[in-house]
Structure formats: structure tokens, C-alpha cells
Structure 1
Amino acid sequence: MGRVSQAEARANRAAAVQAATRLFRESGVANVGVADVMKSVGLTPGGFYKRFPSKAALVDEAVGMGFTDMLRYLSELSEDTDDHAAAWQALLDTYLSVQHRDDPGEGCPAAGFAGDIARDPAPRQTYATGVREMAAWIAPGDAGLAALATLVGGVLLARATAGSPVSEEILRAVSDAASPLPE
């Protein structure tokens, strides 16, 4: 078997980080092994340590990529309208939806990684930076942080109660409470 080019190696590495971002949010960092990540992108586990110094390093990159993707999405919402209140409402409509509740692997990294980061402080700085940037998109200062905390808490509670009527009640209640743009 021949060696891969540097471009292929970079592409394989990026694919592994993207897969880890999704898998870690879906199942939790502790429940996803290096072999799971590598298998999901068609690579052998043996090549992991050629690409990453440790699983902790991969987790940190996955958290960073999750927030990068989310901030890109928020930027696109802002570009679609000159009205930040309309962009905020568009975020609420998707964020507090049944689809987002049921698809943590493709969902918000603040919600998807919250439990893992609380238990493992290694990627905490990357997570904190991402939270601050998301909150700043919503509103300046404490208003943005409070609004983001409300959204994340609502989604986490809705996920924890999925399958019962209270889950959709939570999504609706948080949407109603958060509808005016925080100032």
C-alpha cells in the first residue's frame, strides 16, 4: 500500500476532525473511541497517532470545529437579512425545533459538548471561547450570555425529556420567552 500525499493526509485529518465533531456530540466523548472516529471516515485506527498527539487533542479540535461551523451559520443568518432581530428569530426557529433536539450530532456545539466539557476540563478554553463568540453574536455582554444559556438549557432539557409532551412544551416556552431580541 502506497503512501498518501500531503494533500490526502490533510484531507484525511480534516475528515477525522469533522467526524469526531459529529460523533462526540451524538454520543458523548467518553462513548466514542479513536477507532470509531477513524472507522467512520474509512481509515484504520493505527493511523490516528500519525494525525493527532492524543484523543484529548482531537476533542479540543472537534470542539473548535463545532463552534467554527456554528459561527459560520450565524454569520450566514446575518447576511441573509440586514435586521439582526430577524436573524435572531431565524435562529430561534431552527435552534428550538424538534429537528435540532433530535439531531445533536449536527446541532449546536454549546449544547452538544456541555456535559463532556463539564467533566473534562482539557478543552474548556476552546469551549469558553466558542460560547463567548456565540453569545456576542446574540447580544453584547450579559444579555448575550443569558440568552445563549437559556437556549442551551432549553435544548438540553428538551433532549432529556424527548418522547414526553413536556419536551415540546419546553421548546415552545423557551422560544416564547426568548423571542424579543436581547438588548
Structure 2
Amino acid sequence: MKISKEKSEENRVALLEAASRLFRQKGIDGVGVAEISKAAGLTHGALYAHFASKEALAAAALAWGMEQGNAKLYTGTVDGEPDLERFLSDYLSVDNRDEYADHCAMAAAASEIGRQDSVTSATFTEGYMVLVRAFERRVAANNPGVDALDTAMGIVAAMVGALSVARATAKARPEVSAQVLRGVRLMIDNAVGKPV
């Protein structure tokens, strides 16, 4: 039985949503295609009709998850630019730290990406650079003469790293975890030249 283009796209999105959520919760290597198919309410056959391999699905799910995350960057704007204050307050929060499945695909996958294929690495890099460019514009506007690109690279790396460290320390030392989030936020505010 042939399915419509609309239903096929609906199935593809269901697979991307399920894979993105499960990869963030359990890691790319911690989830199999059977679990992803089941979570999407589909069969293995449906999964392989859309994605040639688990690696192809991982790259597409990472891209989809980062698109969703980066869209949050642009849900509110200030003078046509992303509302970085709101974005950082959400990103470097305890709620974000504790909710793997619904937040930053980069922080959830950063330590795994180096073990994945070049397509997945390229996908990660593209999503990373979306954030870098947003911060680069702000740094350049507030700090003439500063290398805005290098500073923005450091800011985004610090954000992703801080969320990863905060997650790693939360169970044993929640006060350390919270301090990591606060400390990186202070560092970012100082690097940008004024609070963002």
C-alpha cells in the first residue's frame, strides 16, 4: 500500500522527533533503530524508507534538533537581533540542565560527535556556527577592536561545555553544578562587554 507524500513527510518528522529526543536522552550509541521506530509509532521498514542507516538518521536528527534549538534563539528579537538575554537565561538554567530530551542537542551530543561520521560532524559544526554568528554580531557591536569571531567561538564553546559540566556534576554536587552555570553566564556577560 502506497502512502501519500503528506503521510510520508509526517512519518519522517515523527522519526526525527523520536530520534532527536532519544539521542539526547540516551546518546547516539545508546539507542537502537528498533527503539526509535517504536517511539515514532512506525516500523523498521518505515525508518529505512527515509534513512539509509542509523548514521544518516543521527545526522538528520541532530540537524533537526539543532534547528529547533536555534529557532529558540530567534523567538524573541531586540532591534532585529536575537534576544540573547532571554536565550542565555534559558540555556544556562537548572531546568535546561535537568531536561536532556527537550534542550540543547549540542550539549547532549558534543562528547559523542567526534566518534561519529564526517556528515554528523559537519551537521554539528553548522549548528554551532549559527550560535557563533549571533554572538559575534553582539560582541562586534559592543567591543570595537576585539576579535569578535574568536570571542564568539569561546562563548558558544563555554555555553555548551558549561551545560555538559553542570549535568555531569548535578547529582553529586548540585551547588557546583549551579555555580558552573552562574560562572559561565558572568564570563559571557563580561566577554560581550555588557550583560546580554
Question: How does the TM-score come out when normalised to structure 2?
Answer: 0.84
1:59-138 residue pairs with structure 2 within 5 A? 59-78=58-77, 81-82=78-79, 87-122=83-118, 123-138=120-135
Q: Distance in 1 between the 2:132 and 2:106 partners?
A: 10
Q: Distance in 1 between the 2:101 and 2:14 partners?
A: 15
Q: Secondary structure at the match of 2:3?
A: coil
Please give the per-residue CA displacement for 1:17-44, whole angstroms capped at 9, x wherever unaligned: 1211111111100001111111111112
Q: Distance in 2 between the 1:15 and 1:35 partners?
A: 14
1:26-65 residue pairs with structure 2 within 5 A? 26-65=25-64
The count of corresponding residues between Structure 1 and Structure 2 is 179
Q: Distance in 2 between the 1:45 and 1:36 partners?
A: 9
Residue of structure 2 equivalent to 1:166:
176
Highest RCO, 1 vs 2 (Cα 8 Å, sep ≥ 6): 1
One-letter amino acid of the structure 2 residue matched with residue 110 of structure 1: M
One-letter amino acid of the structure 2 residue matched with residue 95 of structure 1: Y
RMSD: 1.8
Whether contact under 8 Å (1:92, 1:179) holds in the other structure is no
Whether contact under 8 Å (2:170, 2:177) holds in the other structure is yes
Please give the per-residue CA displacement for 1:110-130, whole angstroms capped at 9, x wherever unaligned: 212201202213311111111
Quote how far apart the aligned CAs of 1:92 are: 1.6
Q: Distance in 2 between the 1:94 and 1:112 partners?
A: 16
Whether contact under 8 Å (1:34, 1:45) holds in the other structure is yes
Residue of structure 1 equivalent to 2:165:
157
Whether contact under 8 Å (2:72, 2:87) holds in the other structure is no
Whether contact under 8 Å (1:89, 1:179) holds in the other structure is no
Whether contact under 8 Å (1:64, 1:130) holds in the other structure is yes
Whether contact under 8 Å (2:136, 2:151) holds in the other structure is yes
Greater shift in the superposed pair: 46-55 or 28-37:
46-55
Q: Secondary structure at the match of 2:23?
A: helix
Change in Cα spacing, 1:7 to 1:176, as seen in structure 2 (3 Å) is: same
Identify the match of residue 148 of structure 1 among 153, 156, 173: 156
Whether contact under 8 Å (1:88, 1:181) holds in the other structure is no
Quote how far apart the aligned CAs of 1:87 are: 1.7
Question: How does the TM-score come out when normalised to structure 1?
Answer: 0.90
Residue of structure 1 equivalent to 2:145:
none
How many percent of aligned residue pairs carry the same amino acid? 32
Whether contact under 8 Å (1:102, 1:159) holds in the other structure is yes
Q: Distance in 1 between the 2:191 and 2:8 partners?
A: 44
Runs of at least 5 residues in structure 1 that lack an aligned partner in the other structure: none
One-letter amino acid of the structure 2 residue matched with residue 91 of structure 1: F
Residue of structure 2 equivalent to 1:21:
20
Runs of at least 5 residues in structure 2 that lack an aligned partner in the other structure: 138-148
